[in-house]
Every structure is written in structure tokens, then in C-alpha cells.
């Protein structure tokens, strides 16, 4: 069963990380605008709603499904290769390190959202502008490793 599903897992893996990336690029942008919003004002309330929906309805499910279909791909590749040795390479090590960094960024954003929700954000907008660049930087390496180094 695990081998027959390979192409479905790959397609759903790609769709999942596209949605995850979209959220990872958009949420810190909302945080940048939120830094300029008056506490308890209309913009503050609107941004809190947008951030909560983006995180809960898109980013969390997309991160989980990226991991699920990624791990199903790991399993089907190991089945096909007759063992896990194929994952003992610098390319896979680099991909997994970058994916853990991306997952760490996701949790940092979720933590910062809690601060905005509680009105206790003390980070300047510049820091969110820098954070905004990191997911795409990681994605450049992840996608090139997955499509060039691992093929
Ligand atoms: C979250 C944990 C992840 C795991 C466990 C994982 C694992 C995998 C595995 C096993 C493959 C199949 C490789 C093959 O059969 O050649 C794959 C393909 C791929 N992954 Fe991931 N991945 C993860 C996250 C990501 C992320 C975050 C991105 C992009 C930002 C990404 C981009 C890709 C790409 C572009 C491919 C190639 C698809 C193709 O062959 O057309 N992966 N991944």
C-alpha cells in the first residue's frame, strides 16, 4: 500500500508546504503592521482576527500535513530502497535540519501571536521584517536540495 501511494503523497506534500510557506511569509508581515496599531483599536482587533485565522485554519494544518506526507514519503522511499540507509546522506541531513528550523520559526510565530493577543508585544517591527525573510531563505535550500541534490 505504501508504495502505491507514493505519487499521491508527493503531490499532497507539495500542496501542503505551499500552504505552509504562504502562512510563514504572510504572518510576520501582519505582525509588522500590528506593531503600528493602537492597542484595543479597530486595526488591532482586525489584525488579531486575521492572525488567529491564518495560524489556526491554514498554518497549523498545513505544517502537520507537510510532516505527515513527508514522513509517508520517507517510509515509501525506505520500502523501495529496502532499508533506511538512503537517508544517511549530507543532503537529507541538511534538508531535515532546515525543516526543523522552519518548524521552529512556525512555533516562534505562534508564541509572538500570543503576545499580540495579550497586548504584550514588545518586539520592534524591524525584528518582524527580518523574521519575514527567513522562511523563504530556508525554502530556497530545501527545494534545491529536494529537486537537485536528492534526485
Ligand atoms: C516537514 C518535514 C518534511 C519531510 C519529512 C520531507 C520529506 C520528503 C521526502 C521523503 C521527499 C521525497 C523525496 C523523493 O522521493 O525523491 C520529499 C520531497 C520533496 N520535498 Fe519534502 N519533506 C519535508 C518538508 C518539506 C518542506 C518544508 C519543503 C519546502 C519548503 C519540502 C520540499 C520538497 C520538495 C520540493 C520535494 C520534491 C518533490 C518532487 O519530487 O517533485 N519538503 N520530501
Angle, helix 42-53 to helix 90-118, in steps of 10 degrees: 150
What is the rounded CA–CA span in Å between residue 31 and residue 132? 9
Is the CB of 70 inside a 6 Å radius of any atom of ligand 1?
yes
DSSP assignment of 51-84 equals: HHHIIIIIIHHHHHHHHHHHHHHHHHHHHHHTSS
The C-alpha cell that represents 151 in the structure block: 534526485
Q: What is the pTM of this model?
A: 0.93
Smallest CA separation from ligand 1 atom 17, residue: 70
> What is the per-residue pLDDT across 36-82, written as a single tens digit (0 to 9) for each?
999 999 999 999 999 999 999 999 999 999 999 999 999 999 988 88
CA 46 to centroid of ligand 1, rounded, Å = 35
Q: What stretch of H or E contains 1? A: none
State yes or no: pLDDT of 151 exceeds 80: no
The C-alpha cell that represents 60 in the structure block: 497549523
Sketch the domain layout of the chain as residue ranges: 2-149
What is the rounded CA–CA span in Å between residue 145 and residue 137? 13
Amino acid at each position: 500500500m505504501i508504495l502505491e501511494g507514493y505519487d499521491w503523497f508527493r503531490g499532497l506534500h507539495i500542496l501542503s508546504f505551499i500552504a505552509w510557506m504562504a502562512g510563514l511569509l504572510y504572518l510576520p508581515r501582519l505582525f509588522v503592521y500590528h506593531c503600528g496599531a493602537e492597542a484595543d483599536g479597530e486595526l488591532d482587533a482586525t489584525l488579531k482576527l486575521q492572525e488567529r485565522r491564518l495560524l489556526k485554519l491554514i498554518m497549523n494544518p498545513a505544517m502537520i500535513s507537510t510532516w505527515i506526507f513527508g514522513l509517508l514519503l520517507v517510509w515509501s522511499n525506505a520500502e523501495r530502497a529496502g532499508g533506511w540507509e538512503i537517508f544517511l546522506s549530507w543532503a537529507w541531513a541538511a534538508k531535515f535540519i532546515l525543516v526543523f528550523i522552519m518548524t521552529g520559526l512556525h512555533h516562534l510565530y505562534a508564541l509572538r501571536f500570543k503576545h499580540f493577543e495579550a497586548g504584550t508585544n514588545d518586539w520592534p517591527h524591524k525584528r518582524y521584517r527580518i523574521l519575514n525573510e527567513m522562511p523563504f531563505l530556508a525554502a530556497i535550500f530545501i527545494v534545491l536540495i529536494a529537486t537537485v541534490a536528492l534526485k
